[in-house]
Amino acid sequence: MRLLEERIRRDGIVVDGDVLKVDSFINHQMDVGLFQEMARQWHEDFADAPVNKILTIEASGIGIAAIVAAEFGVPAVFAKKSQSINLTGEVLTAKVTSFTHRRTYDVIVSRRFLGPADHVLIVDDFLANGCAIDGLVEICRQAGATVEGVGIAVEKGFQPGGARLRGEGLRVDSLAIVEAMDPATGTIAFREG
Amino acid sequence: MRLLEERIRRDGIVVDGDVLKVDSFINHQMDVGLFQEMARQWHEDFADAPVNKILTIEASGIGIAAIVAAEFGVPAVFAKKSQSINLTGEVLTAKVTSFTHRRTYDVIVSRRFLGPADHVLIVDDFLANGCAIDGLVEICRQAGATVEGVGIAVEKGFQPGGARLRGEGLRVDSLAIVEAMDPATGTIAFREG
């Protein structure tokens, strides 16, 4: 998606060969006008899929999921990262290892909000190793829900998650795929669409 | 707001005299159509205020903030609850004690996203003791930003936060104010508008 690539080139910060900061427009300050354009793109790309629920994981996926849900006209569910005292009843859980935060945590979704009738579009801000997506897919599997696809804002194409998930048959729709980043010059190379 | 009160009566679950679960439409599964109606109400209520930024705190405020930011046509910023390794540079911080999760944490916003030119509408899903709002107001004060007001989905009117914040001169616009809840019958009494 040209608009997102241009925005990443302009406002993204290459911290090192691995870390790309997009906190001025995606995951700390949120440019929801951009999110709306992203949502329209996914809506077009998944026009053939009977999506009736958006699923993401807290925290930085939530804003994107809310705008995507508004575009699709369906509810969004965000998986929680740890058991809250307010989250009673039967839950679906999966373990996820975060490389960014260097810890393993439980991903939790109440069974009341995901079931066999659900056709799910999973969305998230980043895809690197794909562990968070694995967790969400596993939760959908436990719920008997159908995963229609995965919408990612920024995929790190030089990390293995995207290729692995596509290899497993998942429809992964990344709006910008970073192939390489140079922290010395700040240049970012995107995969051609 | 009649629509929200009716939804709380229908789908809210009174767990005890203190805890109201709204996780089927606000803070786990999100009915973003409802969020859009809430956003329109706040936009109308704050039509006289030069709001140019929405501020909330992760995680459950983020979906509401994104939809409100879309309605106002301004960016949203979500405060983070703990130092992330990706959050470098100068930050604004305040300490917040969560009664729900029984812990004290740091609320963090990058200085790059909040400054003297900002006229802020703070939004959140719940207002009880008001500690999270205190933290966000403190961060705005440190940034030199103007707090135009606070938009709350559900205020627990029987807890002290709302009265205290209004007493401090803040414009608090709660769309539903619960005066009392009866866990035995599940009945919920709202404050009259």
**The pLDDT of residue A82:** 79
**The pLDDT of residue A87:** 53
pLDDT of B166 > 70? The answer is: yes
Q: How far apart are CA A35 and CA B113, in angstroms?
A: 18
Question: Are A96 and A107 contacting, i.e. CB atoms less than 8 angstroms apart?
Answer: yes
Contacts A75 to B, Cβ<8 Å: 25, 29-32
B81 compared with A49, residue with greater pLDDT: A49
What would the two tokens of residue B19 be? 């805890």
pLDDT band, residue A181 (cuts 50/70/90): very high
Q: Domain coordinates of chain A in residue numbers? A: 2-190
**The pLDDT of residue A104:** 87
Closest approach of A192 to chain B, Cα-based (Å): 27
Does the interface predicted TM-score (ipTM) exceed 0.85? yes
Is A130 marked as binding a ligand? yes
**The pLDDT of residue A189:** 96
Average pLDDT over residues B5-25: 95
The CATH classification number of A2-190 equals: 3.40.50.2020
pLDDT band, residue A109 (cuts 50/70/90): very high
pLDDT band, residue A105 (cuts 50/70/90): confident
- Contact of A23 with chain B, judged by CB distance below 8 Å, is answered with yes
**The pLDDT of residue A86:** 55
Closest approach of B94 to chain A, Cα-based (Å): 17
Collapsing DSSP to helix, strand or coil, A37 comes out as helix
- Contact of A66 with chain B, judged by CB distance below 8 Å, is answered with yes
- Contact of B115 with chain A, judged by CB distance below 8 Å, is answered with no
**The pLDDT of residue A48:** 98
Q: What is the mean pLDDT of chain A?
A: 94
Three-state DSSP string of chain B: CHHHHHHHHHHCEECCCCCEECCCCCCCEECHHHHHHHHHHHHHHCCCCCCCEEEEECCCHHHHHHHHHHHHCCCEEEEECCCCCCCCCCEEEEEEEECCCCEEEEEEEEHHHCCCCCEEEEEEEEECCCHHHHHHHHHHHHHCCEEEEEEEEEEECCCCHHHHHHHCCCCEEEEEEEEEEECCCCEEEECCC
Collapsing DSSP to helix, strand or coil, A82 comes out as coil
| pLDDT > 90 fraction of chain B, expressed in percent and rounded | 86
Nearest to A63 among B19, B36, B63 (CB): B63
pLDDT of A83 > 60? The answer is: no
**The pLDDT of residue B87:** 53
Q: What is the mean pLDDT of chain B?
A: 94
- Contact of A62 with chain B, judged by CB distance below 8 Å, is answered with yes
pLDDT band, residue A91 (cuts 50/70/90): very high
pLDDT of A127 > 80? The answer is: yes
Collapsing DSSP to helix, strand or coil, A19 comes out as coil
For residue range B53-87, what is the model confidence (pLDDT) as tens digits? Answer: 999 999 999 999 999 999 999 999 999 997 555 55
Q: Say which CATH class B2-179 falls into.
A: alpha beta
Residue A157, CA atoms < 13 Å, CB-side half-sphere = 15
**The pLDDT of residue B17:** 81
Give the nearest chain B residue to A114 (CA atoms). B29
Lowest mean pLDDT among B25-29, B104-108, B115-119: B104-108
> Which candidate, B60, B180, B87, B124, places its Cα nearest to that of A80?
B60
Question: Are A115 and A92 contacting, i.e. CB atoms less than 8 angstroms apart?
Answer: no
Q: Which residues of B52-61 are buried (b: 16+ CB within 10 A; e: fewer)?
A: bbbbbbbbbb
> Which candidate, B189, B188, B190, B182, places its Cα nearest to that of B16?
B182
pLDDT band, residue B88 (cuts 50/70/90): low
**The pLDDT of residue A44:** 98
Q: Which positions 153-192 of B are in contact with A (Cβ < 8 Å)?
A: none
- Contact of A41 with chain B, judged by CB distance below 8 Å, is answered with no
Q: How far apart are CA B187 and CA A127, in angstroms?
A: 45
For residue range B119-163, what is the model confidence (pLDDT) as tens digits? Answer: 999 999 999 999 999 999 999 999 999 999 999 999 999 999 999
pLDDT band, residue A22 (cuts 50/70/90): very high
B84 compared with B35, residue with greater pLDDT: B35
Nearest to B23 among A35, A76, A110 (CB): A110
pLDDT band, residue A88 (cuts 50/70/90): low
